[in-house]
Structure 1
Amino acid sequence: MLITIGKVLKPWGVRGEVKIAPLTDHPGRFTSLSRVYLVSPAGAEKECAVKAVRYHQDTPLLLLEGFETPENVRGLAGWLVMIPEEEALPLPEGRYYWFELIGMEVVSEAGEKLGTIIDIFETGSNDVYVMKHAGREVYIPATAEVVREIDRKTKRMTIHLLDGLME
């Protein structure tokens, strides 16, 4: 599985570099890349060797093999920059990538199956998990009070059912 770490914004300079909008909490991770996958808005995929990485005002600029001229990279704006899931940076204990949570089964502390995580969004104080339950969406605050356990291996999230949460 591929995960998204950036999006091509536009060509940069005369060497065929592309300016990247990082979609990661670790923009410095681009310096260690040797290969990326570019995925078009239509779903076309191209594997590319990374020839060089530099930064302009904290924004990554990539030079990709086979795209060494501005003309070659002009059509890449809007393409996603992706890497294999196994190349994701390790996270501290208790932190999760969104791609790990999407599709996860949600159960109550009593073991009752409640639904599946279908989306996540950020708020000012905490993330909110969107669970599909009986054909509708239920919003689960990503707080220690509600989320009791996340098991990556079984893809299962155990939650404490607050009064009114499922209404």
Structure 2
Amino acid sequence: MFVKGIILSSYGVNGYAKIKSISNNFNDFFDLKGNKLVLKKECCSSVEVRVENISLIKNSLLLKFEEFNTPEAIKDLIGFELWVDDELASKLEEGEYYFGKLIGYELVNSGKKLGVVMSFLECGDSILLEVKVGSKLFFIPFLDVYLGDIDSSVKTIELKVLELLE
């Protein structure tokens, strides 16, 4: 499953949720109509919902869930992530990756295993991979200058600049 968006607020009086798209691609959200997804928040239990309607108003992405019909109900869901099955995830171009899928990949250099990707952080326009090497954590910018080949068949990421682990 993948995170596709986050509930930002309620919209209108009919129980629509204003959504922030993780991919900034609104078009593939229209494929969610009639499908089930899971709303998750770290502090709370998850909720399974079915998407009843999708609208794009003034550059705002709005979703209506069958299970919720009031703005008050949606306000309780602010901050929840929208998790979808893999087949409903946004399509990727060559060289694009879902960062969540890179968690657990080995960081390697010249065939030598260096560490494991533990998580990732979004810092403005930059993405940092959090890598555990022994008992230490390092943050590696997700940029071509630092990282080379990503091989999903063996789950490895090539590190070009070893000095990032010093």
**TM-score with structure 1 length normalisation?**
0.84
RMSD: 2.2
What does residue 158 of structure 2 align with? 158
Q: Distance in 2 between matches of 1:40 and 1:165?
A: 33
Any conservation in 1 of the 2:32–2:88 contact (CA below 8 Å)?
Answer: no
What does residue 143 of structure 2 align with? 143
For the structure 1 residues 116 and 14, does the alpha-carbon distance in structure 2 shift closer, same or farther, using more than 3 Å as the test?
A: same
Deviates more, 1:44-53 or 1:68-77: 68-77
Give the match's secondary structure for 1:29: helix
Any conservation in 2 of the 1:37–1:81 contact (CA below 8 Å)?
Answer: yes
What does residue 98 of structure 1 align with? 99
Give the match's secondary structure for 1:129: strand
Aligned residues: 164
Q: Distance in 1 between matches of 2:16 and 2:124?
A: 35
What does residue 129 of structure 1 align with? 129
Question: Aligned-pair distance for 1:123?
Answer: 5.8
Any conservation in 2 of the 1:9–1:77 contact (CA below 8 Å)?
Answer: yes
Q: Distance in 1 between matches of 2:57 and 2:123?
A: 29
Deviates more, 1:74-83 or 1:114-123: 114-123
Q: Distance in 1 between matches of 2:123 and 2:14?
A: 40
Q: Distance in 1 between matches of 2:24 and 2:8?
A: 18
Q: Distance in 2 between matches of 1:64 and 1:151?
A: 38
Runs of 4 or more above 4 Å deviation: 122-126
Q: Percent identity?
A: 29
Any conservation in 2 of the 1:7–1:79 contact (CA below 8 Å)?
Answer: yes
Question: Aligned-pair distance for 1:102?
Answer: 1.8
Instruction: Give the gaps of 5 or more residues in structure 1.
Output: none
Q: Distance in 1 between matches of 2:126 and 2:76?
A: 37
Matched, 1:113 2:106: no
Deviates more, 1:34-43 or 1:8-17: 34-43
Cα offsets for 1:53-77 (capped at 9, x unmatched): 1122212111110212334323212
What does residue 13 of structure 1 align with? 12
For the structure 1 residues 125 and 32, does the alpha-carbon distance in structure 2 shift closer, same or farther, using more than 3 Å as the test?
A: closer
Q: Distance in 2 between matches of 1:144 and 1:51?
A: 41
**TM-score with structure 2 length normalisation?**
0.85
Tell me the amino acid that sits aligned with residue 63 of structure 1. K
